[in-house]
Amino acid sequence: MNRKSKTRRIRPWARTFLESIHEFLTPAIWKYAHAGRGRSKSLRWDTQPLILCLLVMTWCCGDSQAERFETAKGLTTACLVKRRRPGQTVQGFQKALAKLPMPALRAVAAGIRRLLLATLDLSHEGFIAFGCDGSGLLCPRTKDLEKRLDESVKGAAGAPQVWVTALVHLRSGLLWAWHFGKGHNRERSHLRMLLKTLPATALLVADPGFNGYDLARTLTAAGVSFLIRMSGKDRLYTMSTTPLDMATFEEGEVLSWPDDARRAGLPPQRVRLVCIRRRDKRDVWLLTNVLDAKRLTREMAGRYYRQRWENEGLFRTYKQTLKKVKLMSRTVRLVHREAEGSMIATQILLAIGASFLRRDKQANVETGQPQPRTGEPKMPRSSPRKILLALRKVCSGKIGVRDTAFGKQMTEARPERRPNRTSGKVSRVWPGRAPYKAPKPPICRPLPIAVKVLADTLLE
């Protein structure tokens, strides 16, 4: 009995594309999406084929939406054989998509987050670490988009753009949540909208664009731990009378209390300042509200901030691998739905790869195969490019939706092993791009004696 049960579980490659889709798009998720659609329904396009066709259009190839729609329509029909056939024209699909409420797509994303939290081991060392960063998505230069969207300040200057702020799980590189909005450098307001999606024991890791007293107070009130890099624009205070020696300082408790908050009668924010010394003399100054140095050590803080590069890897996958540097839709309603659907498709793409590698690792443990060498990441990684190539084979018909060859291709979607980076991330100077300058240390001064009594009273 035990041998038979183990034999069934040690074949992680015996999976099909249809089973992988059903794993993350369960009947409960389709039920919530159908409820979020409300009364705005189409005679030809039901909720399930409409959203599934939108997702497949992100994965398949094509220079225009019409070409991608033809491929997505064929794959949707093959997956939903017993369902009513969807519409035949891209114009009808766009009309039905424009009437689709955004809560229907957000219900799908929320359901996938719950599945990721339940099926994958996201916690490590007492934290579920997430990175946060934003990027701009260019849009076509139509009158409607130029009137209602903000202009881009980088790249194609003057072109309308949509700004996206995304949360990425640092250990696995999985896309967790995102928020779309207008304008440039509005990431802090976007992050406030994303706080409700964070699970318990979440640790938010971000760059100096997310610093500030107001945001730190909001994160602490929401029960979210943060680890944010400081710059020379930040001002901190100490309760001691002697200033800190920034040349030898490693870590210690400080106060974040700007003048505006002090005049408004707001209490100071107790935080811990951590300095990560580097060989290139570009020290990294991090601020966290985890005051216990045993719970979040200096080594852990440095490792978490190095993993923050997963945010850049996600945007590279989204923009370069999936070709989403510029969206194709020409109206505001379709732009928002195309962007939301493409992010859900990216989330499912990365989740499918993580799921297959997790089963492969579990099968190796059960069969007694050798484990990864010391120093390799505990959570396996997959190659988004190889996963996309396997999905495109299904879209083109080279692999059937019920063919187990898809599972074998997914287990082989491992990234290339490269040596550790020894040079800079920028290979050469790009025209129109300002050279990178490392942030300076924050300004840390002793708290004035006249204000010390007020600080003690408010802290108590």
pLDDT tens digit at each of 460 positions of the chain: 444 444 334 344 448 999 999 999 999 999 999 998 887 777 789 999 999 999 999 999 999 999 999 999 999 999 998 888 888 999 999 999 999 999 999 999 999 999 999 988 899 899 999 999 999 999 999 999 999 998 887 656 678 999 999 999 999 899 999 999 986 668 899 999 999 999 999 999 999 989 999 999 999 999 999 999 999 899 999 988 788 888 888 899 999 999 899 888 899 999 999 999 887 668 899 999 999 999 999 999 999 999 998 888 899 999 999 999 999 999 999 999 999 999 999 999 999 998 887 765 554 444 444 444 433 345 567 899 999 999 999 999 999 999 989 988 888 888 877 776 666 666 677 776 777 788 888 999 998 888 888 888 888 7
- Is residue 330, in this structure, part of any structural domain at all? yes
- Is residue 406, in this structure, part of any structural domain at all? yes
- Is residue 169, in this structure, part of any structural domain at all? no
Beta bridge partners of 253: 272
Residues 6+ apart with CB under 8 A from 40: 99, 100, 101
Q: What is the pLDDT of residue 358?
A: 74
SS3 205: strand
- Is residue 154, in this structure, part of any structural domain at all? no
- Is residue 201, in this structure, part of any structural domain at all? no
- Is residue 199, in this structure, part of any structural domain at all? no
User: How many domains would you assign to the chain?
Assistant: 1
Q: What is the pLDDT of residue 1?
A: 42
| Beta strands 175-181 and 251-256, pairing class | unpaired
Structural domain harbouring 61: 2-104+326-411
Q: pTM of the full predicted structure?
A: 0.89
- Is residue 55, in this structure, part of any structural domain at all? yes
| Beta strands 269-276 and 284-288, pairing class | antiparallel
- Is residue 236, in this structure, part of any structural domain at all? no
Q: Please name the residue ranges forming H helices in 38-123.
A: 47-59, 65-79, 90-98, 102-119
Give 382-445 as a 3 state SS string. CCHHHHHHHHHHHHHCCCCCCCCHHHHHHHCCCCCCCCCCCCCCCCCCCCCCCCCCCCCCCEEE
Q: What is the pLDDT of residue 377?
A: 45
Instruction: For the chain, give the number of residues.
Output: 460
